[in-house]
Structure 1
Amino acid sequence: MSHPAEAEPAWDGALPRQSSSVGYIAKADEYYTVKSRSELMFEKQSERHGFTTRVTHAALVKSQDDGGVTDQLYSEMKPAVDGANYIIKHMRNKNEYEVSANNQNVPMLCFAASAESERDVGWGRVCVFLKRLGKKADSKSLSLAHCDLTATELLELGGMVATLPRLCVLDVSCNAQLTQEVDTGGFRELVSSLSHATSLTTLRLQACGLTPDSLDALGGSLRCLPSVGELHLSCNKLLAGGLSRLTFHLAHVTHLERLDLHLCCLTRDDLEALIQVLPSLTALTELDVSSNKEVGGVVHLLVSALPVTQMRRLPFNSCYMSNKSFTALVYASALAVSYLRTVDISWCKVVGGHLALLLDALQPSVVSELRLCSCELTTDDMQHLAAVCRRGCLSSLRALDLSYNSLVGDNGWCSLFAAGGLGSLEDVDVSLRPSTSAPCSAWLPALLRALPQMPALARLAMQRWTADCQEREQLRYCLKKRSVLLERDPDLQDTSSACKGNSQESLEESQPEE
């Protein structure tokens, strides 16, 4: 008697299998690694004639209500996933070992994981090059200062810069051999490759021994880099007399905002060539020609050619300024009073006795850095500075350098510290020259009373000022509570047991109220 066939059960998930292939794989591995071929043959013959039974690995079927199908799929896929992860980990470890063993022969694909967004072969070459020099890889900034680059390395670097379209900062400062190989092609290859770095905004070539010939090679590439905003060429004394080879091309760098040429032994011809190109640099906000003796005679020409109404930094320290030059600087400061952030005229003796002219031109001021080191300031100059501070005209000042002005009397220092109006001050230097010393007992109480009104103070330099034991302890105690760095000469600091024996109660009683 026939019966209707039973309906097959419906499955929403994975269908149960009668056996799992994982078991067969494990059995095959056992046969391959453990059993000999003869033993395997006899075992299979026994199964064929019915002497032994073959174990079939049954599949485990779980209910679909509690996620059994998902667990079943996970348990069957997990061995494959673990195997793939093991292979990936093994290959990664192998690649890292090859990199450490021989950086020169590493395949470029080994850097795909570390480069992240940089997938090109050129980035791999850069990583190898920087690793050899002990530098950190960065696709937007290459800092190779103090690396003693050779001509061969310059050629290699030049070929790699062209493959970095997103490079923004290139610093090869303090490489003495950089321009000694101009004729051999190392430096020329480097600067010629800059024409491909269209995103370059900052170029630093400080203390590289630049010569007029190297400036000629550099100028040709600058014409192709209108986006350059900062150009640092300081401390290159050999380029004296050849700046005109560069200024001819600077007119095309329309976005140049900062030009650094300090300590380059610029001649009068160099400065005249620079003055001719300055009107074309309409975006310029910082020009540093300090520590060049000839600058003192052309300050009035420089400031007349500059866009002074937008200048933020215009240092003229160590420039041998004359009275005419100082007057021109005062006039320029008055025009740039709303933008000027830094005023540095240190080592200019003409300032002594005429500081009032400059301070009056800087009102109201946004200056955050005022440096008047070794300017032969007088007591009247210091009292005028105190009056300006009292009116709050220097409330944004953060750094004040008044060192090496031994002509200032005690009344001048007392007036300055008693004036107030320096709440933003972070750095103060009132040190004396190394060959001189003087007592500070007359104005030290005024300084101690002013310290609570300087909450941002982080450094106080008072080298060569002498004080007795109790005064030194009072100053040290006040600054220690504030975590202020005090710079004094070690031979003038107190080492006697009498100073160490002062009680804490007497120190607190002698402190001014905060």
Structure 2
Amino acid sequence: MKQFQGKKCAPEKRKEQPSAIKQFFKGFDFGKSEGKDRREIEETEINNDGADDQSEKQDLSVEDGLSHLTSEAESPSGEQRFNQFMEKLGKKPSSKNLDLNNCALNAADITELGKCTFYSKNHFMVCKQKSFSLLTASLLPFLPELEEISLSWNGCAGGTLKALTAQLHHVNLLKVLRLNNCRLTAEDVISLGTGFHLHLLPDILGLILDFLDPAQAKQPDEGEAFEIVSQLEELDLSWNSNIGGKLSLLTKKLQEACKLKCLKITDCNLTAKDGESLAELLNVIPNLEVLDISINKNIGCSMKVIAQDLKNVPGLKELNLHMCGLKQDSLQGLDTALQHLTELRKLDISCNRELGGGFKASTAHLASLKNLEVLDLHQCCVTEEDMTVLSQVIPLLSNLQELNLSSNKNAGFSSDPLLGRLRFLPKLRSVTISNCGLGEESLSSLAEAALHLPELEILDLSWNKCVGGNLKLLLGALKLATEIQVLRLSSCNLVAEDLALLTSLRQDGHLARLQKLDLSYNNNISDEGWAVFCQGLGAFKELSELDVSLRPSSCRDCGPWFGELLAALTQLPALAELAMQRWALSESQRKQMEGFNQDNKRNIRLDC
């Protein structure tokens, strides 16, 4: 800092440098007392035409001021304030993970965090932060080892991201950046793209270096790269609707051969033009492993273009296209791309209702996905012809662990071949076929195949009326399903006999690991049936969630079995949630439930 210690420069030089500095810091709010002192420092540097004794006083003022700043940089007080602030939010301070996710910061919090202003030779920040991102940016110089930043679900970050991205060069080890639901604006998208760009503006960089140390004021050559967050592997911008139509502002800034592995842009109102920008981006992110563009209904129009460039990310492991407005021709383009995605582990094309009828001509390469573990086709309006083709392809996916065919109502008419052939997928852990219009024959085929699924953990048969009175068909499978943890039988027309079967299975030592049991919307079960069930409920020691709600249009008195239920709760140490919607509890019964929670030091959430 010798240049400030009594040195006198030529008038023209002294006028030029402070002018540039003043321009650089224009717009910052300097606060009151401390801002006043620093303005006096600037005025001391600029107004050098006075008497020699006045000049000496000014130089001493500058020296004292900068000495104070240096002392602050060397002091750990800023880090201590940061730790205290994080602890106040209930967050564990970490030098590698800045987790401010869903903090709902108020004005007092922001004021307190605003006290964390830092000064050093490598960055000169003289501002009193007024926004969430600006405040967060002030923390970055103290966290050079930072690997993760999460600002998700903090709407106040929107419109202020520029302050954060300007400081990203302090965190070259950053791997994860999550900005879900932050109300990002177009300016934020531009700032973010600039933050990822490999080049700093030479005039800004030179200005800072010249101000701090003229010896380091060498201007970078044109094209000289300064890596900023060059290690970034995950970027999540989901739930920011203003990104739609502006994705190119970000993608055009991402440099070639970047290390991005995970890109999530869920529900961002992406347009067909954004789809083209995304396709171009796939050419420069060869390491991509996860791509999630779900809930962008208009991007399906450019799915052909995207599919053509998926070949540039051969290591892709997860592709989520849920509710993207895909059509039959989109499916054809996607199927062609699958031949290049041999590492794919998860494929979700659910809730694309116009895909129905397209599978029969677009599954040539689906069977080649030998590493596929998750296939989600729910609510795709699958036709009988589609099911015939899928029954030939899906059993060839030898590593498949999760299969979801729910809400394909036509599947029930031709599902026998597919459900019966699930026996060839011994690694299946989750089978979800709710609301598929299954018949008794389909249920029998599933029951027989389930005998060969020793790792089954989740079975969802909800909204298939044929299950009612026929649960006994699954008796053998449920006996062998030693790993089953979730059983969903909502709106299955269950009867008292079905509940008795479940309780007897548990009493005989089966279903020992069951954690979630959904029996909701089965209004045909009598009070006697519920009483028998509650009497045996205590045997489900691992149960954490139980739903016995009635249909929305119904309302019944809880009846005498409430006492049996209350007694069973004392034997269910893991139960945390009990749903009893539309069961009318008397005032006495409600007080009994509240008393149970208090007396047993439990906190069972009663939803009724």
TM-score, normalised to structure 2, is 0.61
**Equivalent position amino acid for 1:171 in 2:** D
Name which of 181, 185, 191 aligns with 1:103: 191
Distance 1:290 1:23 in 2: 73
- State whether residues 295 and 320 of structure 1, in contact with CA within 8 Å, keep that contact through their aligned partners in structure 2: yes
> Structure 1 residue 432: deviation in Å?
0.9
**Cα distance per residue 1:434-488 (max 9 Å; x no partner):** 2222221311111111112211212111011113221121013324642221111
**Cα distance per residue 1:397-423 (max 9 Å; x no partner):** 111011111221222222222212211
Give the aligned partner of residue 276 of structure 2.
155
> Structure 1 residue 116: deviation in Å?
4.0
TM-score, normalised to structure 1, is 0.72
Identity of aligned residues (%): 33
- State whether residues 356 and 385 of structure 1, in contact with CA within 8 Å, keep that contact through their aligned partners in structure 2: no
Name which of 474, 480, 485 aligns with 2:605: 485
Distance 1:109 1:379, change over 3 A: same
Give the aligned partner of residue 390 of structure 1.
507
**Equivalent position amino acid for 2:467 in 1:** V
Give the aligned partner of residue 375 of structure 2.
259
The aligned runs of 1:148-187 (5 Å cut-off) are 148-179=269-300, 181=301, 186-187=302-303
Give the aligned partner of residue 450 of structure 1.
568
Give the aligned partner of residue 523 of structure 2.
406
Distance 2:282 2:314 in 1: 11
Give the aligned partner of residue 115 of structure 1.
229
Distance 2:410 2:3 in 1: 90
Distance 2:368 2:277 in 1: 28
- State whether residues 576 and 603 of structure 2, in contact with CA within 8 Å, keep that contact through their aligned partners in structure 1: yes
**Cα distance per residue 1:329-383 (max 9 Å; x no partner):** 11112221x2111111111121111212213321142111111111111112111
Give the aligned partner of residue 205 of structure 1.
321
Distance 1:315 1:27, change over 3 A: closer
Distance 1:383 1:143 in 2: 46
**Unaligned residue ranges in structure 2 (runs of 5+):** 15-46, 53-69, 75-118, 126-140, 142-162, 169-186, 201-224, 234-245
Give the aligned partner of residue 121 of structure 2.
86
Distance 1:29 1:218 in 2: 67
Distance 1:100 1:297 in 2: 51
**Unaligned residue ranges in structure 1 (runs of 5+):** 1-20, 41-77, 120-124, 489-514
Q: Does 1:475 align with 2:593?
A: yes
Give the aligned partner of residue 501 of structure 1.
none
The aligned runs of 1:260-279 (5 Å cut-off) are 260-279=376-395
SS at match of 1:421: coil
Bigger-Rg structure (1/2): 1
- State whether residues 352 and 375 of structure 1, in contact with CA within 8 Å, keep that contact through their aligned partners in structure 2: yes
Distance 1:104 1:370, change over 3 A: closer
**Equivalent position amino acid for 1:195 in 2:** K
Distance 1:201 1:215 in 2: 18
SS at match of 2:517: strand
Name which of 350, 365, 375 aligns with 1:249: 365
> Structure 1 residue 294: deviation in Å?
2.0
> Structure 1 residue 278: deviation in Å?
2.2
SS at match of 1:108: coil
> Structure 1 residue 199: deviation in Å?
2.1
Distance 1:115 1:28 in 2: 40
Distance 1:27 1:240, change over 3 A: closer
Distance 2:509 2:394 in 1: 34
Q: Does 1:331 align with 2:366?
A: no
Distance 1:345 1:35, change over 3 A: closer
Q: Does 1:434 align with 2:552?
A: yes
Distance 1:178 1:300 in 2: 35
Distance 1:351 1:105, change over 3 A: closer
Q: Which one is further off, 204-213 or 106-115?
A: 106-115
SS at match of 2:354: helix
